[in-house]
């Protein structure tokens, strides 16, 4: 019997089902137990039951990243079973807050970014309203084992090497079974979709109180390149079916970002100096709701970062708004 079992769990989110994995062996481990959402919990309990386990048997919980569809239920399960929760040390602030946004000062940082990006009046209020609705899908959880790049951790009788793979979130981890050639990839590498390099922030290194925007897409691309260098037999993703041939999937993702960079530059060619929000509306006119528009803005800002680093695009501040134009 394979020791890694995929348990697809329904979610109420546009992404569809999320994968939990049960690692059978010592210690009995669940990876990403899904959101606080009755149908997901039911599917998880059923899945455990089919393999002869109950939630209270769990000894360890691995979390790949602090997004509610993956970690929401972890706090409840840990309380019920006494399982140790293992997550990235840098995820602790978000996991403890059980909100979509966990860093102190993050709301202000996002408001400032939206203003700089030329978002219309009232957009940030609508965005925070839609986010606060997601808070019910998670309870706060404390990480007992704080993981960082290079750590090793036991789960299901296997030794997993921890890879810090920022990009989709700054706290994203992958867990590598070197002997078995298997990778728990979370949302860093998915079989069917390019994962969004979401806008995110970190504390300034000089201790200033303001938060600094991460260059999320640059980080994601570096993480993907790193994964391509691994010798893998199978990738166990956070959504969708497990897959092999990970190098061709990584290549496809990298080509996708190259193409999108061209498209973003194309939009600027037709327009002259333009704020990021306008570029996002031009590229993704179908995104009508605040979350969809924020994802579109994330996508565009990531590509504008790359184009700026390439010297293709120039950014200049016009009052409180950043305008982008072809260099």
Task: Please report, as ranges, the residues that interact with Zn ion according to CB under 5 A.
Answer: 69, 187, 238
Q: How would you classify the pairing of strands 234-237 and 182-186? A: parallel
- DSSP E strand boundaries for the chain: 4-9, 18-23, 29-31, 60-62, 84-88, 145-147, 152-155, 158-164, 173-177, 182-186, 201-203, 211-213, 234-237, 313-318, 321-326
Minimum CB separation from Zn ion for residue 34, in Å?
A: 10
Minimum CB separation from Zn ion for residue 184, in Å?
A: 13
Query: Tokens representing 262?
Result: 């061209």
Tell me whether residue 134 or residue 274 sits nearer to Zn ion (CB atom): 134
CA atoms within 13 A on the CB side of 161: 13
Tell me whether residue 72 or residue 238 sits nearer to Zn ion (CB atom): 238
Nearest alpha carbon to residue 90 among 195, 3, 203: 203
Tell me whether residue 81 or residue 188 sits nearer to Zn ion (CB atom): 188
249 sits in which H/E element? helix 246-269
Minimum CB separation from Zn ion for residue 163, in Å?
A: 17
Tell me whether residue 66 or residue 238 sits nearer to Zn ion (CB atom): 238
Residue nearest Zn ion (C-beta atom) = 187
Tell me whether residue 117 or residue 172 sits nearer to Zn ion (CB atom): 172
Tell me whether residue 101 or residue 116 sits nearer to Zn ion (CB atom): 101
The answer to whether residues 270 and 326 touch, using CB atoms and an 8 Å cutoff, is no
Nearest alpha carbon to residue 146 among 84, 204, 205: 84
Minimum CB separation from Zn ion for residue 89, in Å?
A: 20
Minimum CB separation from Zn ion for residue 11, in Å?
A: 8
Minimum CB separation from Zn ion for residue 196, in Å?
A: 10
């Amino acid at each position: 019997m394979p020791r890694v079992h995929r348990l697809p769990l329904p979610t109420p989110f546009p992404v569809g089902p999320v994968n939990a994995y049960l690692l059978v062996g010592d210690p009995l481990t669940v990876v990403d137990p899904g959101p606080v959402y009755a149908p997901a919990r039911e599917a998880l309990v059923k899945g455990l039951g089919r393999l002869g386990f109950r939630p209270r048997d769990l000894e360890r919980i691995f979390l790949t990243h602090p997004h509610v569809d993956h970690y929401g239920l972890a706090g409840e399960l840990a309380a019920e079973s006494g399982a140790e929760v293992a997550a990235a040390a840098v995820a602790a602030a978000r996991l403890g807050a059980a909100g979509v946004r966990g860093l102190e000062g993050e709301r202000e940082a996002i408001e400032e970014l939206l203003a700089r990006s030329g978002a219309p009046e009232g957009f940030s209020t609508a965005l925070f309203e839609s986010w606060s609705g997601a808070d019910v899908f998670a309870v706060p959880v404390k990480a007992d084992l704080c993981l960082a790049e290079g750590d090793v951790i036991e789960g299901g009788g296997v030794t997993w090497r921890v890879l810090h793979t920022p990009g989709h979130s700054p706290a994203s981890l992958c867990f590598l079974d070197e002997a078995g050639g298997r990778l728990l990839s979370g949302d860093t590498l998915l079989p069917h979709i390019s994962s969004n390099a979401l806008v995110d922030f970190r504390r300034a290194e000089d201790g200033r109180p303001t938060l600094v925007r991460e260059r999320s897409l640059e980080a994601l691309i570096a993480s993907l390149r790193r994964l391509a260098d691994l010798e893998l037999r199978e990738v166990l993703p956070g959504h969708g079916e497990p897959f092999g041939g990970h190098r061709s999937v990584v290549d496809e993702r990298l080509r996708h970002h190259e193409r999108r960079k061209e498209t973003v530059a194309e939009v600027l060619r037709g327009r002259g100096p333009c704020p990021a929000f306008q570029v996002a509306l031009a590229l993704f006119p179908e995104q009508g709701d605040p979350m969809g528009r924020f994802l579109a803005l994330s996508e565009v800002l990531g590509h504008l970062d790359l184009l700026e680093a390439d010297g293709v695009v120039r950014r200049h501040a016009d009052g409180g708004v950043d305008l982008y134009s072809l260099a």
